[in-house]
């Protein structure tokens, strides 16, 4: 089955700096790669996703890149703000087969 590894487990940045979180996956059949943000005591919320037919996707301060050859994808947050502080999860899946496989999460702390 799919295995997703996520790094780092914790990340502390100063407000205004950029943050990068990286994930690798094992199943070459995976074709859907979402990123979720989870605030304390709440369910995860989708912030951005990418499908295997594109290499990069941006949405304001958030971007995701995908390298299918190397089987890794990354989340980039620019101009970080204190409200970006949360746990971020990457996931990988093969749409049409079953549910997603999640990474172990990254706790991002943005220092004001």
Partner 1 sequence: DGGITQSPKYLFRKEGQNVTLSCEQNLNHDAMYWYRQDPGQGLRLIYYSQIVNDFQKGDIAEGYSVSREKKESFPLTVTSAQKNPTAFYLCASSIDPRDGEQFFGPGTRLTVL
Q: Residue 36 and residue 47: Cα distance in Å, rounded?
A: 6
Site string for partner 1, 53-72 (x = CB under 8 A): --------------------
Q: Which residue has the tokens 């996703």?
A: 49
Cβ contact 78:15 at 8 Å? no
Cβ contact 14:109 at 8 Å? no
26 or 104, CB closer to partner 1?
Answer: 104
Q: How far is the CB of 51 from partner 1 (least distance, A)?
A: 8
Number of residues near partner 1 (by CB under 8 A): 28
End-to-end Cα, the chain, rounded Å: 41
18 or 104, CB closer to partner 1?
Answer: 104
Q: Which residue has the tokens 């407000």?
A: 15
Query: Applying CB under 8 A, which of residues 26, 28, 81, 95 lies at the interface with partner 1?
Result: 95
Name the nearest CA neighbour of 42 among 8, 74, 89. Answer: 89
36 or 73, CB closer to partner 1?
Answer: 36
For binding to partner 1 (CB under 8 A), which residues are involved? 1, 4, 6, 9, 32, 34, 36, 41-46, 49, 51, 89, 93, 95-105
């Amino acid at each position: 089955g799919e295995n997703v590894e996520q790094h780092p487990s914790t990340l502390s940045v100063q407000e205004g700096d950029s943050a990068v979180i990286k994930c690798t996956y094992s199943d070459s059949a995976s074709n859907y790669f979402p990123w979720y943000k989870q605030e304390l005591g709440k369910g995860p919320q989708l912030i951005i996703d990418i499908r295997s037919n594109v290499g990069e996707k941006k949405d304001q301060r958030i971007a995701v890149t995908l390298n299918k050859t190397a089987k890794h994808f990354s989340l980039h947050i620019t101009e970080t703000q204190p409200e970006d502080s949360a746990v971020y999860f990457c996931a990988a899946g093969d749409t049409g087969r079953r549910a997603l496989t999640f990474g172990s999460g990254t706790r991002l702390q943005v220092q004001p």
